[in-house]
Amino acid sequence: MVHLVGSLRKELADSLSSCAVLVVGAGGIGCELLKNLVLTGFKNIEVIDLDTIDVSNLNRQFLFQKKHVGKSKAQVAKESALQFCPSANITAYHDSIMNPDYNVEFFRKFVLVMNALDNRAARNHVNRMCLAADIPLIESGTAGYLGQVSVIKKGMTECYECQPKPTQKTFPGCTIRNTPSEPIHCIVWAKYLFNQLFGEEDADQEVSPDTADPEAAWNPEETAARATASDKDGDIKRVSTKEWARSTGYDPVKLFNKLFKDDIMYLLTMDKLWKKRKAPTPLDWHQLENGGLSPLTVASPGLKDQQVLGVWGCCQLFQHSVETLRTQLQDRGDGAELVWDKDDPPAMDFVTAAANLRMHIFSMNMKSRFDVKSMAGNIIPAIATTNAVIAGLIVLEGLKILSGEIESCRSIFLNKCPNLRKKLLVPCILDPPSANCYVCASRPEVTVKLNVNKTAVLALQDRILKERFGMVAPDVQIEDGKGTILISSEEGETEANNNKFLSDFGIRNGSRLQADDFLQDYTLLINVLHTEELERDVEFEVVGEAPDKAPPPQTNQEEVNSITNGNKDSAQPSTSSKAPSDDDDIMIVDSDDEEEASSSSAAPATTGTKRKHPDAETGETSTKRPRTDQSNAAQDDDDDDIIALD
């Protein structure tokens, strides 16, 4: 006779009470998961999350209350979970899972790791740490009514990075600055403008007309005189936008006329841009002010944030937000900078007003504040019941692992509507590791196409190794027979190399680099393929990666493959930092806990589909959800549960 403890076999119940498990993320999925774990009988739990609680979390993260706003998610989640089971031993870390303190030895303490993350960077890192420690990982994500749970085990299943994911959706600088054609282009421009005026200036986020646009093919010396400026302060040739703005005292009217009149008139002198496009229409503050325009146009009844302002209403919102942000900047003292946050009303008002004015100038329909916030913050609403279902499935898969039945684990997809077999939950057999994976292969190797004469060592470190290949602290050695160290993770050792080009070290077509990340216990061999034919604004290409490698999209897909919670693909894990999402031109959603989502764009993501997998119950084939991804993330856990479909 089987001896039961509650609904579990005694052997399994004993295992739950003694084994140590790690929960990464304490947001939407994380809260539900922690509650489920203690109620199931898990007694030794460690939870890590760097985020703090925001008011917007309270509608779905039920371990938190209003009195907890501003406190550590991990710590409050622990305290709340202990009320369900006071005898549980829960350790909470208000920290980043990417902190070097959480090394391979740390991961080896656990018999199981469960992800409730919100971005791809942290997911990649935990994936590698679990592979290095040879610990089973349960990955999860939600996106609105959709959800997914999957088990990852070294040598048995695909790892998180086995399937190529589409790169983040980005927009060429000349499109953002000269020829926007979609609302998202204007929203990205407005976020760049916020940083140029009030935040940290970034040369890659310039907002003034791009005179180097190859499509324009104009002679600025001959045509500059055709652009009239309202006054000297509106001179578009000033080098620093922030410096010019300070010189005007952040005068809203002067800012308005420079951005929406003078710069637009300057764009009009680039004749070739407008031969096949509708030319923009400059706006003048004083003409609008005297034109008697209605300040507000209500597109439809509803909440204030869902109403669409008229042109003059956007002008007034622009003026008010600039004045408020100017005061905030002054109050912080000389040299202070503001960080854009979708939940900061003046910052959100500024982006809403500036983006809508630019949309109007370029003949696009303007958007409500709600719509602008959704796109600017990469937000896809999270649903509490979806989080609850996915958290329950995580525990069920965990019980299989602890019972020694990992071969019976499945990837499970939660659909919005029943499929043809009337199933909302579709289990699929786990795939074996990909022989071509650059993470879990026996000897990971990739080929990177770049220009060795133009690629700096710092770009190799930050843009390729850290951003593209997810390393945290890479060391790079040139396989030249001498063991030349190109990059060292030890501070100061190779900083003198940063601004030198790869060719300065004898790196050429066919050279091989060995990149090691000792924290992740990960080594990657990189074959350099030199080329001088990369597209404009493209620094490098990984040969053979998606979307080139992904199969063509199919129609009538029932599900979307791999949903991961998180925001801001930005690569700022919610469990690691609450940094601004700069890359928002990228619109990404990488799913996760509530932030739930991963990296994806506010716009529909491109999709690539996986092969069909036999249904675990019927043996029939069912198409998995197309992997979608668009990203940075940001990270925001709050309400932005951005859900990124990875």
470 is in an annotated binding site: no
Q: Beta strand pairing status for 512-517 and 522-530? A: antiparallel
130 is in an annotated binding site: no
- Residue 622: its H or E element: strand 621-623
30 is in an annotated binding site: yes
582 is in an annotated binding site: no
464 is in an annotated binding site: no
73 is in an annotated binding site: yes
Compute φ and ψ for 315, nearest 5 degrees.
-60, -45
162 is in an annotated binding site: yes
**Backbone CA torsion sign across 498, 499, 503, 508:** positive
Residue type for 492, please? G
DSSP 379-406: -----HHHHHHHHHHHHHHHHHHHTT-G
CB-based contacts of 276: which residues, under 8 Å, 6+ apart? none
User: In the structure encoding, which two tokens stand for residue 190, read together?
Assistant: 């407005």
DSSP 339-369: ---TTSHHHHHHHHHHHHHHHHHTT-----H
DSSP 211-227: TT-TTT---HHHHGGGS
Nearest to 592 by CA among 139, 191, 14, 113: 139
Nearest to 83 by CA among 102, 62, 100, 69: 62
377 is in an annotated binding site: no
120 is in an annotated binding site: yes
Q: In degrees to the nearest 10, what's the CA dihedral of 524, 525, 530, 535?
A: -20
Q: Report the alpha-carbon distance of residue 43 to residue 323 in Å, rounded.
A: 53
CB-based contacts of 625: which residues, under 8 Å, 6+ apart? 146, 148, 413, 557, 558, 559, 560, 561, 562, 563, 645
Contact 430, 401 (CB under 8 A): no
- Angle between helix axes 10-18 and 384-402 (nearest 10 degrees) is 110
Residues in a beta bridge with 93: 48
Q: Report the alpha-carbon distance of residue 585 to residue 587 in Å, rounded.
A: 6
On the 0-12 / 13-18 / 19+ scale of CB atoms within 10 A, 397 is: buried
25 is in an annotated binding site: yes
Nearest to 351 by CA among 381, 332, 326, 375: 375
118 is in an annotated binding site: yes
77 is in an annotated binding site: no
DSSP 521-576: TEEEEEEEEE-S-PPTT--EEETT-TTTSSPPP-SS---BS-EEE-SBTTT--TTT
Q: Cis link prior to 547 (omega < 30° from 0)?
A: yes
219 is in an annotated binding site: no
122 is in an annotated binding site: yes
89 is in an annotated binding site: no
Nearest to 412 by CA among 434, 432, 433, 389: 389
Q: Report the alpha-carbon distance of residue 177 to residue 175 in Å, rounded.
A: 6
409 is in an annotated binding site: no
3-state DSSP call for residue 630? coil
Q: Catalytic site residues?
A: 174
Contact 165, 608 (CB under 8 A): no
List, as residue ranges, the binding site for ATP: 25-30, 49, 57-60, 73, 96-97, 118-123
List, as residue ranges, the binding site: 25-30, 49, 57-60, 73, 96-97, 118-123, 159, 162, 437, 440
List, as residue ranges, the binding site for Zn(2+): 159, 162, 437, 440
